[in-house]
Amino acid sequence: MIFDEAFNILIEQLKHSFSETRAPGLETPRYTPEIAQILWLADESACPSVQSIPPHSSIRIISNRFDVTQAAQSTELSATFSDFDFSEIPSNSIHKILYRLSKEKSVIHHIINEAFRLLSPRGELWVSGLKNEGAKTIIAKTANLFGNGHAEKYRSAYLGQFRKDTPLPLGEFLDTQNYLSLRLEKSSGMSFYSKPGLFGWNKIDKGSNYLLENIPLFLSHFKTPPNSLLDLGCGYGYLTIGTRDIPLGKRAATDNNAAAILAMKKNAEFYGINVCVIADDCAASLSNTFDMILCNPPFHQGFDINSMLTERFLYTTKRLLSPQGGALFVVNSFIGIEAVATSHFLHIATLANNGSFKLIMLSNRK
Ligand SMILES: C[S@@+](CC[C@H](N)C(=O)[O-])C[C@H]1O[C@@H](n2cnc3c(N)ncnc32)[C@H](O)[C@@H]1O
């Protein structure tokens, strides 16, 4: 299990607060109804640590990642998949909110503002983050909003604990850039709906752009024209939008991220593309096969590749590719995806390489 100091602090603090409320002689903590609501907000940093959260009926997890939601549910925690949209939760109704800070500013600000609204009088917000992620600054801004709280250092991480002492915040709400709304962006002549909270939300990825430029070349390798497409890890749907003019009988797009699913659906509607959009972890629930799978995988982090995710994306592609089908992956030129692909595909070829990105064509055609 990957150890995340910041996540771990929250778990330890929660366990500690449980033991404080444990009545003598009782095996499990006893809660009075007014402290029965604990909300844990978890993004991608929570996988797989979410499984260490003590399962308890008072804890509800909300995650914007499908894999985190599933991992939480597998330990009998109550978990909901959402782009941190809390509009259905009444104000002043939550006793405690725990949040391991995300990387993106607008989602952090959105969650902190909403936490203030959701907390009941004297309810508490606990946040944690690593020193090198700017956690101390966020904690200072949160203290300003709540009018109390400060950063406590635990090795490489900070913990901030805040109490809602007043019905209105003492400081200004943080700037969320209207986090929840989809907005129409325009980049390199393409219009698309997107929002903060998803990969490269307001730009076109250079690798994906390279992939689209080479679609005609890719199609020339098919003996019969493909009739179906899977956009694997679709984001806001750039690859689906860019291939909308190819006549196909069936299109599907899938992603792990709640914001991506919202944006993909909106773009399908905006462009009038008939596409089945599925929230999933690595397309695990899909069983129909596709003639064409396009993918800009999420695993090129720095100079390393996340080999487990690579393996899963490649395995999924093998499983969902029709016998006559072909897949096209774009990766940074230095990534040795081919070595992992050999155990899944008969044919692995470089369709193009511009020095920054390469396009790898995969198939099991006989
Ligand atoms: C490099 S982005 C590509 C996005 C989009 N296809 C494009 O070309 O702009 C990788 C995408 O994979 C998604 N992703 C990450 N982990 C995933 C998983 N386990 N299952 C499905 N999608 C995942 C991310 O949310 C992200 O949208």
pLDDT digits (tens, 9 = 90+) for 290-313: 999 999 998 754 434 567 888 899
Task: Give pLDDT tens digits for 243-289.
Answer: 999 999 999 999 999 999 999 999 999 999 999 999 999 999 999 99
Query: Which residue lies with its CA nearest to atom 2 of ligand 1?
Result: 298
pLDDT band for 79, please (50, 70, 90 cuts).
very high
What residue type is 194 in one-letter code? S
Residue 21 banded pLDDT, cuts 50, 70, 90: low
Tell me, in angstroms, the distance from the centre of ligand 1 to residue 260's CA: 8
- Ligand 1 contact via 208 beta carbon (within 6 Å): yes
Q: Indicate yes or no: pTM above 0.95.
A: no
Residue extents of the structural domains in the chain: 5-163, 183-363
Nearest CA to ligand 1 atom 3: 296
- Pocket-testing residue among 198, 255, 262, 300, ligand 1, by greatest number of atoms within 8 A of Cβ: 255
Determine the distance separating the centroid of ligand 1 and the alpha carbon of 255, expressed in angstroms.
6
Amino acid in the structure at residue 32: T
Longest CA–CA span in the chain (Å) reads 74
Ligand 1 and 83: CB distance under 6 A: no
> C-alpha 39: how far from its chain's center?
18
- CATH number for the domain running over 183-363: 3.40.50.150
Q: Are 151 and 135 in contact (CB under 8 A)?
A: yes
Q: How far is the CA of 122 from the centre of ligand 1 (A)?
A: 39
Average pLDDT, the chain: 92
Picking from 64, 69, 60, the residue whose alpha carbon sits closest to that of residue 94 is 60
pLDDT > 50? residue 89:
yes
Q: In the prediction, which pLDDT does 30 show? A: 46
In ligand 1, the atom with minimum distance to the C-alpha of 211 is: 8
Does residue 313 line the site of ligand 1, with CB under 6 A? Answer: no
* Mean pLDDT on 340-364: 97
- Is the pLDDT score of 152 beyond 70? yes
- pLDDT > 50? residue 34: no
Higher per-residue confidence, 196 vs 311: 196
Contacts with 139 (C-beta within 8 Å, 6 or more apart), sequence order: 127, 129, 149, 150, 151, 158, 160
Mean pLDDT of 171-199: 95
Q: Which atom of ligand 1 is nearest to the CA of 204?
A: 9
pLDDT at 20: 60
Please name the residue whose Cα sits nearest to atom 24 of ligand 1. 233
Buried/exposed 128-163: b ≥16 CB within 10 Å, e otherwise: bbbbebebeebbebbbebbeebebeeeeebbbbbbe
User: What pLDDT, on a 0 to 100 scale, did the predictor assign at position 25?
Assistant: 56
Same fold, 5-163 and 183-363: yes
Range 222-226 average pLDDT: 97
All residues at 6 or more sequence positions from 182 whose CB lies less than 8 Å from its CB, including other chains: 193, 194, 195, 262, 263, 266
Mean pLDDT of 95-100: 96
Using CA positions, which residue lies closest to atom 10 of ligand 1?
298
pLDDT at 23 exceeding the cut of 70: no
Instruction: Specify the amino acid at residue 268.
Output: A
- The more confidently predicted of residues 300 and 348 is 348
pLDDT level of residue 330 (50, 70, 90 thresholds)? very high
CATH assignment of 5-163? Answer: 3.40.50.150
The response to whether residue 67 sits with its C-beta less than 6 Å from ligand 1 reads: yes
Is 54 a residue whose pLDDT tops 90? no
Does residue 28 register a pLDDT over 70? no
